[in-house]
């Protein structure tokens, strides 16, 4: 019977290879997310007392008078603080830094796990801002036993991890894309690397690049001019060339390609910016001349050349009320006012502090989306509550981003 069905399919479609494969993929920035062992260390270090050295402006652990708890100190000013190991202390805020207790963090993990199990029916999830593979395992169903992992190791603590269901396909490669971290820059001007995973699904190569690009240069409509002299925009400008090189090389072997993650850039605003994409008004499909800067990241990396790497950004939809969706649509056209952003980020709408404009999904030739990419609401799980000292009433947001999910055919 199986052979008969296969023969019928070959007659209908020409070959078994011509049958479409289906993958549901999601991206989610989990906001400084850590595994529980790292959380214990983090709470311990942030709970220490620190005293400032007036000569250096640096803080040292001390029991002397005039100390400050680590929760109230800029961790980058603490002598010896290792951001490759621990996040800063002011991750959670509710009228000031929340002095996190272990029970509240454990509850946060349970809420993330329940949300993923209930609301993210994805075969592949690309995470940003996680401490490593273990932190992802702890929030996946059954402790991640049904998943394989492609993690970033080393670098700073805001890492990338891609998780996929073992039954989906065979791993061909997992590569940390160091070029995106701008390795020739000084340490304080090095952003995060990319993470590329190649799977073989139904005999076809499927390649994913997970990114978390430089922050604080979001939109040309709010002063985030990519070609400007702002230090964050300057770093993001530097990431364009290595990202474009990856895109152009990724499709050379015929693999289907997806580029997704937290781009920290509103691509919809770039596409609606009426200025030329480059400072010399040249076309984005040609190499940039020396000294020429880009105003549009998406128009550089998705310039249609070569044809095999012709990326398209998926339309985006918000799984909320009609009024909320209208706000999401407006956010693609213009910069929302602070009250509008606050409304979109509220519990009855998307629930996350960064509701839209940073996370995107782009697909290459041979991939079609079954509908738009969906911004999923996290509802009332996006807020913090300091609670009583060490009390059980403390609440931590599961993230300041909402997950995005898309159903792909290839």
Report the CATH number that the domain containing residue 394 is assigned in CATH.
Answer: 3.60.10.10
Residue 255 pLDDT level (bands cut at 50, 70, 90): very high
b/e sequence 361-393, b meaning 16+ C-beta within 10 Å = bbbbebbebeeebbbbbbbebbbbebbeeeeee
Whether residue 4 is contained in a domain is answered as no
Q: What is the pLDDT, as a whole number, of residue 18?
A: 55
Alpha-helical regions (H) of 175-291: 231-250, 267-272
d(CA 177, CA 190): 13
Only one residue has tokens 């738009």, namely 372
Contacts of 332 (CB under 8 A, 6+ apart): 268, 269, 272, 316, 356, 357
* Whether residue 305 sits in one domain with residue 172: yes
202-to-168, 199, 206, 367 alpha-carbon distances in Å: 9, 10, 10, 14
Band of pLDDT at residue 66, cut at 50, 70 and 90 = confident
At 393 the pLDDT is 94
Q: Between β-strands 22-33 and 312-313, what pairing exists: parallel, antiparallel or unpaired?
A: unpaired
Q: For residues 150-172, give the mean pLDDT.
A: 96
Residues 404 and 270 in one domain: yes
Q: Of 5 and 403, which is predicted with more confidence?
A: 403
Distance CA 301, CA 239 (A): 10
Q: Both 142 and 236 in a single domain?
A: yes
Q: Is 213 exposed, middle or buried (0-12, 13-18, 19+ CB in 10 A)?
A: buried
Lowest average pLDDT, out of 3-7, 25-29, 131-135, 272-276, goes to 3-7
Domain count, the chain: 2
Q: Distance between CA 126 and CA 114 in Å, rounded?
A: 18
> Do 135 and 116 share a domain, yes or no?
yes
Residues 233 and 86 in one domain: no
- Answer yes or no: do 190 and 300 share one domain: yes
Residues in Cβ contact with 63 at an 8 Å cutoff, skipping those fewer than 6 apart: 49
Q: Based on the domain organization, do 329 and 232 belong to the same domain?
A: yes
What are the E-state strand segments in 20-137?
Answer: 22-33, 49-52, 59-61, 68-69, 124-130
What is the residue range of 33's domain?
Answer: 20-39+99-409
Handedness of CA 8, 14, 15, 17 (dihedral sign): negative
Residue 191 to residue 215: CA distance in whole angstroms: 9
**Reported pTM:** 0.93
């Amino acid at each position: 019977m199986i052979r008969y069905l296969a023969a019928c399919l070959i007659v209908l479609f020409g070959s078994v290879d011509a049958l479409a494969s289906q993958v549901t993929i999601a991206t989610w920035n989990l906001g400084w997310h850590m595994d529980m062992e790292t959380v214990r260390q983090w709470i311990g270090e942030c709970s220490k007392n620190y005293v400032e050295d007036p000569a250096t402006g640096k803080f040292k652990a001390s029991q002397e008078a005039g100390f400050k708890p680590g929760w109230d100190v800029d961790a980058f000013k603490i002598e010896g603080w290792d951001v490759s190991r621990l996040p800063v202390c002011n991750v959670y805020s509710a009228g000031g830094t929340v002095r996190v207790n272990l029970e509240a963090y454990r509850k946060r993990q349970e809420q993330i796990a329940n949300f993923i199990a209930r609301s993210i029916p994805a075969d592949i999830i690309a995470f940003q801002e996680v401490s490593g593979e273990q932190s992802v395992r702890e929030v996946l169903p059954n402790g991640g036993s049904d998943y394989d992992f492609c993690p970033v190791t080393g670098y700073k603590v805001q890492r990338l991890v891609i998780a996929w269901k073992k039954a989906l396909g065979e791993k061909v490669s997992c590569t940390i894309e160091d070029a995106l971290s701008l390795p020739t820059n000084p340490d304080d001007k090095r952003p995060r690397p990319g993470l590329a995973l190649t799977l073989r699904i139904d005999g076809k190569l499927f390649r994913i690049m997970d990114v978390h690009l430089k922050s604080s240069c979001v939109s040309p409509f709010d002063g985030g001019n990519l070609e400007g002299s702002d230090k964050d925009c300057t770093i993001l400008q530097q990431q364009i060339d290595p990202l474009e090189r990856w895109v152009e090389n990724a499709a050379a072997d015929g693999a289907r390609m997806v580029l997704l993650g937290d781009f920290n850039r509103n691509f919809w605003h770039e596409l609606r910016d009426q200025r030329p994409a480059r400072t010399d008004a040249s076309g984005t499909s040609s190499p940039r001349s020396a000294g020429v800067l880009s105003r549009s990241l998406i128009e550089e990396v998705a310039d249609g050349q070569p044809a095999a790497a012709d990326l398209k950004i998926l339309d985006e939809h918000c799984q909320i009320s009609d009024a909320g969706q209208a706000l999401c649509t407006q956010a693609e056209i213009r910069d929302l006012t602070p009250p509008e952003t606050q409304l979109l980020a509220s519990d009855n709408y998307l629930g996350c502090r960064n509701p839209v404009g940073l996370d995107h999904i782009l697909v290459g030739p041979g991939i079609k989306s079954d509908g738009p990419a969906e911004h999923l609401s996290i509802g009332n799980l996006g807020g913090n509550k300091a609670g009583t000292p060490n009390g059980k009433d403390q609440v931590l947001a599961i993230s300041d981003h909402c997950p995005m999910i898309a159903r792909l055919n290839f």
